[in-house]
C-alpha cells in the first residue's frame, strides 16, 4: 500500500511539473499529460530528455563577440547599398501590402537576384553537382539527411576530388536526420581534407536535453556566389527511387545575387554553433556578379527565431488567394484561425497535401484539420502522382518556400531556411507548378470525407492530441 501511495504521489508531482513548466504552451502540456496517463511514471523520462526549452541561442549570444554583430551590420549595409545603386531604391508595390515583412526580426530584403526553380530532384542535384565541380575557392554543404547511397556517393566522390584539388570544403549534417550515415563515409571525406561537423549529435544532445531540436536546413554555397536551398536532402529517395513513395515532387532553388550572402551567413552561424569557429573573412562574402532584378528575403528561423510570424503574416495580409503545398499540415491555433478568417472573408484558400503519406501519425494529424476547414470553404487536394514534399505558400503576388513545413516542428523546434520571393516571374513559376500539381490531385469533398471510418476518426483525434510533439 505504501508503494502505491508513493507511486501515486510521484505521478502527481510529475503531472504538476509538466503543467507548471509548460503553462505558456498549453497544447504541448496537454500532449505530454496524455503520454503520462498512457505510460504512468515512465512517460516523464522522454519529457525530461526531449522537452527542454531551447537555450542555445542565449548561449550563442553570450559567446559571440562584437566582431560577429558588426560583421552582420556590414552585410546589411552592403545589401542596402546595392539596392540604392542598382535598383534605385524602388521597392515593389507588394511591400506596402506586406509591410510587416520588413519588420520581421530576420535578414534584410535583398536586390539584384536571379532565381532558378527546380521541381524534381534530378534537375536540382545535377545543377548542384555542376556548381560544385566548378568551385574555385570553397564549397559549403549543410543537409538534414545525407545518405550513403548512389546519390550520396556521387556527392562524396566529388567533394573528395575538390578537396584534393585544394578547394576548401565544409560539410554539416544533422545528428538525427543523418543518423544512418556510416563512419566510413565521413572518414573518407576527412582523410581527403573535408571539414565535417555534426549538428547536435544524438548521444550528447540526449543528455543535454536538446534531442528534439534539429537542423532541417538544406544548403549548398559555392564560392559565395551561388547558393542552393529548398526541400531536397541527399538520398536516392529524393530521386524517386523509394518503392513505396515512388515519384518525389519537391521544390528547390538556385540563387545568385545578394541573397547568397545571407545563405552563406546562415551556414556560418550553424558552423559557429557546431565548431566554435568564427569566420567572417571577406573572401567568403565576395561582391556579387549578378545584376538581376529580383527581390528576395532570406528567412533564417529556429527555436529561438520562429518562422511562425512570417507564415501568419502572409496569410492574414492576403486579399485574393492563399495557396499552400506541404507534406505535413499541422497548423498551430493562430495559423488555423488565420486560414478560417481568410476563407470566410472570401479569399481563395487551397491546400495540397500528400495522397501517399510517408509518416502515418503526422498524416492522421493533418487529416484531423480537414473537415473543420472544408466546412468553411477551404479546398483540400491529395497529390496522387507520388509523394509531394514541396513546401510553398503563395499569398497574392508573393511566395515563400524553403525547408519549413506547415507544422509545429518547423514552427518551433527546427532550424529552417526559407525565402520570400517578390518577383513576378518566380511567383508565376510557382503558381504554374501549383496548378500542375492540382491537375494530378484528387479534391477532398466534405460529403465523401465524412464517410471515413470511426477507427480512422479516432486515429486522427489521437494524432492531433500528440501533434505538438512532432
Give the residue from 381, 312, 310 showing the smallest Cα distance to 342. 312
Question: Residue-wise over 130-163: b if at least 16 C-beta within 10 A, else e?
Answer: ebbeebeebbbbbbbbbbbeebbeebbebbbebb
pLDDT of residue 373: 96
pLDDT of residue 57: 47
Q: d(Cα 307, Cα 249) in Å, to the nearest integer?
A: 23
Cell numbers of 90, please?
A: 524602388
Q: d(Cα 258, Cα 111) in Å, to the nearest integer?
A: 6
The pair phi, psi for residue 15, each rounded to 5°, is: -60, -45
The per-residue pLDDT for range 320-359, each reduced to its tens digit, is 999 999 999 999 888 999 999 999 999 999 999 999 888 8
Cell numbers of 322, please?
A: 492563399
pLDDT of residue 213: 78
CATH topology of domain 65-92+105-294: Endonuclease; Chain A (3.30.870)
Q: What residues does each domain of the chain span? A: 2-50, 65-92+105-294, 308-469
Q: d(Cα 341, Cα 259) in Å, to the nearest integer?
A: 33
pLDDT of residue 76: 81
Cell numbers of 180, please?
A: 544512418
Question: Is CATH 3.40.50.150 the classification given to domain 308-469?
Answer: no
pLDDT of residue 335: 93
Give the residue from 342, 170, 367, 359 showing the smallest Cα distance to 271. 170
Residue 249 backbone zone (phi > 0: left; psi -120 to 50: alpha; other: beta)? beta
pLDDT of residue 7: 55
Q: d(Cα 108, Cα 80) in Å, to the nearest integer?
A: 8
Name the helix (H) or strand (E) containing 168: strand 168-174
Active-site residues: which are they? 216, 218, 223, 389, 391, 396
Q: Helices 150-164 & 121-133, crossing angle to 10 degrees?
A: 10
Q: d(Cα 385, Cα 441) in Å, to the nearest integer?
A: 8
**List of long-range contacts for 158-164, beta carbons under 8 Å, 24+ apart:** 158/129, 158/132, 158/133, 159/132, 159/189, 159/192, 159/194, 160/188, 160/189, 160/192, 160/194, 162/132, 162/133, 162/135, 163/189, 163/192, 163/193, 163/194, 164/192, 164/193
Name the helix (H) or strand (E) containing 430: helix 424-439
SS3 111: strand
Residue recorded with cell 476563407: 343
239: Cβ–Cβ under 8 A, 6 or more apart, which residues? 121, 122, 125, 151, 248
Question: Residue-wise over 394-423: b if at least 16 C-beta within 10 A, else e?
Answer: bbbbbbbbbbbbbbbbbbbbbbbbbbbbbb
Asked if 371 and 449 touch (Cβ cutoff 8 Å), the reply is yes
In order of 181, 289, 346, 455, the CA distances from 234 in angstroms are: 11, 28, 41, 37
Partners of residue 329 on adjacent β-strands: 406
Asked if 387 and 231 touch (Cβ cutoff 8 Å), the reply is no
Strands 392-395 and 321-325: antiparallel
pLDDT of residue 463: 83
User: If you compute the radius of gyration of the chain from its CA atoms, what whole number of angstroms results?
Assistant: 23
User: Fold identical between 65-92+105-294 and 308-469?
Assistant: yes
pLDDT of residue 462: 78
pTM, rounded to two decimals: 0.88
SS3 400: strand
Low-confidence ranges of the chain (pLDDT < 50): 56-57, 60, 97, 207
Give the residue from 216, 232, 293 showing the smallest Cα distance to 259. 293
Give the residue from 233, 234, 307, 219 showing the smallest Cα distance to 264. 219
Asked if 200 and 210 touch (Cβ cutoff 8 Å), the reply is yes
Residue recorded with cell 551567413: 265
Give the residue from 13, 3, 14 showing the smallest Cα distance to 36. 14
Amino acid at each position: 500500500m505504501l508503494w502505491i501511495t508513493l507511486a501515486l504521489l510521484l505521478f502527481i508531482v510529475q503531472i504538476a511539473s509538466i503543467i507548471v513548466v509548460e503553462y505558456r504552451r498549453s497544447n504541448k502540456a496537454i500532449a505530454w499529460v496524455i503520454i503520462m496517463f498512457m505510460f504512468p511514471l515512465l512517460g516523464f523520462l522522454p519529457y525530461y530528455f526531449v522537452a527542454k526549452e531551447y537555450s542555445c541561442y542565449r548561449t550563442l549570444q553570450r559567446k559571440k563577440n562584437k566582431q560577429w554583430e558588426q560583421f552582420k551590420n556590414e552585410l546589411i549595409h552592403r545589401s542596402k547599398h546595392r539596392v540604392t545603386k542598382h535598383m534605385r531604391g524602388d521597392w515593389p508595390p507588394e511591400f506596402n501590402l506586406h509591410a510587416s515583412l520588413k519588420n520581421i526580426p530576420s535578414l534584410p530584403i535583398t536586390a539584384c537576384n536571379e532565381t532558378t526553380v527546380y521541381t524534381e530532384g534530378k534537375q536540382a542535384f545535377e545543377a548542384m553537382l555542376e556548381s560544385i565541380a566548378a568551385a574555385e575557392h570553397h564549397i559549403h554543404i549543410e543537409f538534414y539527411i545525407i545518405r550513403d547511397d548512389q546519390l550520396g556517393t556521387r556527392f562524396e566522390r566529388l567533394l573528395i576530388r575538390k578537396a584534393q584539388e585544394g578547394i576548401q570544403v565544409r560539410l554539416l549534417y544533422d545528428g538525427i536526420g543523418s543518423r544512418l550515415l556510416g563512419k566510413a563515409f565521413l572518414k573518407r571525406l576527412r582523410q581527403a581534407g573535408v571539414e565535417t561537423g555534426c549538428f547536435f549529435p544524438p548521444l550528447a544532445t540526449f543528455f543535454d536535453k536538446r534531442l528534439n531540436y534539429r537542423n532541417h536546413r538544406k544548403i549548398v554555397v559555392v564560392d559565395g556566389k551561388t547558393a542552393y536551398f529548398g526541400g531536397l536532402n541527399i538520398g536516392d529517395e529524393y530521386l524517386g527511387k523509394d518503392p513505396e513513395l515512388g515519384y518525389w515532387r519537391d521544390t528547390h532553388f538556385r540563387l545568385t545575387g545578394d541573397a547568397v550572402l545571407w545563405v552563406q551567413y546562415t551556414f556560418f552561424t550553424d558552423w559557429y554553433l557546431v565548431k566554435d569557429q568564427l569566420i567572417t573573412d571577406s573572401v567568403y562574402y565576395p561582391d556579387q556578379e549578378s545584376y538581376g532584378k529580383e527581390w528576395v528575403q532570406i528567412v533564417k528561423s529556429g527555436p529561438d527565431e520562429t518562422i511562425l510570424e512570417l507564415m501568419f503574416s502572409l496569410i492574414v495580409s492576403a486579399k485574393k488567394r492563399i495557396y499552400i503545398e506541404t507534406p505535413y499540415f499541422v497548423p498551430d491555433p493562430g495559423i488555423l484561425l488565420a486560414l478560417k478568417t481568410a476563407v470566410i472573408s472570401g479569399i481563395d484558400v487551397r491546400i495540397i497535401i500528400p495522397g501517399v503519406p510517408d509518416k502515418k501519425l503526422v498524416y492522421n494529424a493533418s487529416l484531423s484539420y480537414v473537415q473543420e476547414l472544408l466546412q468553411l470553404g477551404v479546398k483540400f487536394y491529395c497529390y496522387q502522382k507520388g509523394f509531394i514534399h514541396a513546401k510553398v505558400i503563395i499569398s497574392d503576388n508573393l511566395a515563400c518556400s524553403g525547408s519549413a513545413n506547415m507544422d509545429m516542428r518547423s514552427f518551433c523546434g527546427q532550424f529552417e531556411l526559407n525565402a520570400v520571393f517578390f518577383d513576378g516571374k518566380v511567383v508565376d513559376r510557382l503558381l504554374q507548378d501549383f496548378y500542375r500539381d492540382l491537375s494530378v490531385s484528387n479534391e477532398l469533398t466534405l460529403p465523401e470525407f465524412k464517410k471515413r471510418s470511426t477507427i480512422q476518426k479516432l486515429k486522427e483525434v489521437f494524432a492531433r492530441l500528440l501533434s505538438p510533439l512532432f
